[in-house]
Amino acid sequence: MAIHPIEFRYGTPEMKAVWEQEAKLQNMLKVEAALAKAEGEIGLIPEDAAEEINRKATTEYVKQERVDEIERATNHDIAALMKALQEVCDGDSGEYVHYGSTSNDIIDSSQSLQLKESITIIRAKIIELMRVLMNLADEQKDTVTIGRTHGQHALPTTYGMKFAIYIDELTRQLERLDLTEKHLCVGMMTGAVGTTAALGDTGYEIHLRVSEILGLSPVHISNQVVQRDNHAEYVMTLANIASTLEKMALEVRNLQRTEIMEVGEKFDPEKQVGSSTMPHKRNPITGERICGVSRVIRAYVNTALQNNPLWHERDLTNSSSERIILPESSILTDYILKLSIKLFSNLDFYEENIERNLNLSNGLIMAERFMSKLTQKGMGRQSAYALVRKCSMDAYAEDKGLREVLSNQEEIKKYLTQEEIDETMDPHTYLGSCEKFVDNILDYAKNVIDEYEPQ
């Protein structure tokens, strides 16, 4: 019976396939095969034994059920793997399985293969999400909206700016993911305390060759494990990605509030139900799920950091928690990336509400522009600020529009005509370099994505 939501509710088939038990077993067998191949090439074990081990080191021959059966008796997962592989090898070839290695050579190297594949899947979804946002930024480049600071109306901005900021952040997440892959996805065949002593004079050569066969960079140095600052970096990178996705989803959720209703999730009125009791509800459920799951991903960071300080050359305290946090953080990050692609591919824009909210303050959002205009016309900046601030406070107190209050100020009439006052109060023309910023980000992001595309 399924218990964990990942089993039946959350996650994508492609990422789950990376972390399912048989895939894990296949990767460990791949490392055992690479070890035998490297040892056979230099004559450390018979070449025909290396070939037989390579033929049989697949889940076609080594069955998970048999590995589990042996582990129940031995209470050791890698010893069970080793025996199950040995059993299916013809002749005495099985005698050479696992020669010169320790359990974590197999675990960490095979886990690197899983993590590398996970990063590839996550990277592809980040790029897909960037493309969605790039289309939105271009389409909404000229859609003027109110910018909010501290939850209060501040100055005009554009929806193009909102989406461009997310795009820029995701380019940095790609960079972090690349750096994490470089540090994390390494091969290791260094033996019980990292010295390669069991492999004699050929140890370092075998360490390098195994990594080469696996398509991994060899770890520079290890004790019995690849150092867990690398794994903590991975989880922290996923948590950082999750924080970006939550930021984006949170903005949509806020903008979908009934009082604001500028942007909202796509809702199918024919089929979708918002509430079991309130027939009118249209809830931002995709955004809320992104935000909720992101909290779980970030919670794994503390555990990942605690896995780095181990006793001496290692202990086993990292192992049990990594069986949970590495697959779950990978699966859940990939999942909320998929949800984010869905969310931003299906946004509804309510243009009348965007314009209504832009003018909700009755001109107060143009106070900064008016102050700057007076300064340009010859009034001192501090004097202009004080005058416009007083007019703004009067507008609040008297429930009047800022334009009306400003137009009645004799001091202001010395510097500005009524036509200039009216022009200055138009929020659609106070956008500074918005268009330039958006265009620059779109060009930059395109170049970033092109670097990942096959030529």
The secondary structure of 337-392 as a DSSP string is: HHHHHHHHHSEEE-HHHHHHHHTTTTTGGGHHHHHHHHHHTT--HHHHHHHHHHHH
Intra-chain end-to-end CA distance of the chain, in Å = 47
Domain spans, the chain: 11-99, 101-355, 364-424
**pLDDT score, position 439:** 98
**Quick check: helix, strand or coil at residue 295?**
helix
pLDDT tens digits for 93-143? 999 999 999 999 999 999 999 999 999 999 999 999 999 999 999 999 999
* Catalytic hit among 150, 220, 280, 312: 150
CATH code: domain 101-355 is: 1.20.200.10
- Reply yes or no on whether 112 is catalytic: no
Mean pLDDT of 421-441: 96
Confidence of residue 444 (pLDDT cuts 50, 70, 90): very high
User: Cα(43)–Cα(366) distance, rounded to whole angstroms?
Assistant: 80
User: Cα(452)–Cα(319) distance, rounded to whole angstroms?
Assistant: 33
* Catalytic hit among 4, 275, 320, 428: 275
Mean pLDDT, the chain, whole residue set: 95
pLDDT tens digits for 214-273? 999 999 999 999 999 999 999 999 999 999 999 999 999 999 999 999 999 887 777 777
pLDDT tens digits for 281-302? 788 899 999 999 999 999 999 9
pLDDT tens digits for 344-373? 999 999 999 999 999 999 999 999 999 999
CATH architecture of 11-99: Orthogonal Bundle (1.10)
Check if the beta carbon of residue 91 is closer than 8 Å to that of residue 52.
yes
The secondary structure of 32-49 as a DSSP string is: HHHHHHHHHHTTSS-HHH
pLDDT tens digits for 1-35? 889 999 999 999 999 999 999 999 999 999 999 99
User: Cα(90)–Cα(365) distance, rounded to whole angstroms?
Assistant: 81
CB atoms within 10 A of CB 84: 24
* Superfamily for domain range 364-424: Fumarase/aspartase (C-terminal domain) (1.10.40.30)
**pLDDT score, position 293:** 98
pTM of the model: 0.95
Tokens of 105: 């050579």
- Comparing 408 with 340, the larger pLDDT belongs to 340
Confidence of residue 278 (pLDDT cuts 50, 70, 90): confident
- Reply yes or no on whether 103 is catalytic: no
The pLDDT of residue 455 is above 70: no
**pLDDT score, position 361:** 94
Residue/partner pairs of 306-310 with CB below 8 Å, 24 or more apart: 307/228, 307/231, 307/232, 308/227, 308/228, 308/229, 308/231, 308/232, 310/225, 310/228
**Quick check: helix, strand or coil at residue 157?**
strand
The pLDDT of residue 277 is above 80: no
CB atoms within 10 A of CB 270: 5
